[in-house]
Amino acid sequence: MIKKILFIAMILISFSKVTFSQTNAEMRSAAAIEYEKADKELNLVYKQLSSSLDVNQKQLLIESERAWIKYRDLECKFQAVGYTGGSMYPLIFSSCMTDLTKKRTQELKESSSQGD
């Protein structure tokens, strides 16, 4: 129980917009917006990296990204499963999606800089 409370507190602190929201609906909305922004950045970085790769590398990137998306979705469902049916589920799920998406974006940025 304490672990869940600390996890929720960490999520709220990590998103300034979420922290200052007043209602659960506002927090969920802010978390969804944060995820959308993170996803747009990921797609931009992915396209940039993809355009710099040869055919074989590009195919491996595509396969890697598909596997990562499957992992991300399942991991976030797992992290939020304890909140299934509750009003906190969307916030926990969106926050996880944002966190993992930002991490993946950083990984792809690092991959593209390795070729420099």
CATH of the domain at 75: 1.20.1270.180
The predicted pLDDT at position 6 comes to 64
The pTM of this model reads: 0.78
pLDDT for 18 beyond 80: no
The predicted pLDDT at position 74 comes to 98
Q: Which domain holds residue 40?
A: 2-114
The number of folded domains in the chain is 1
pLDDT per position as a tens digit, 31-87: 999 999 999 999 999 999 999 999 999 999 999 999 999 999 999 999 999 999 998
Confidence label for 106 from pLDDT (cuts 50, 70 and 90): very high
Instruction: Tell me the CA distances in angstroms from 46 to 26, 65, 101, 108, one per residue in order.
Output: 30, 9, 12, 7
Instruction: Tell me the CA distances in angstroms from 49 to 41, 58, 97, 114, one per residue in order.
Output: 12, 9, 21, 11
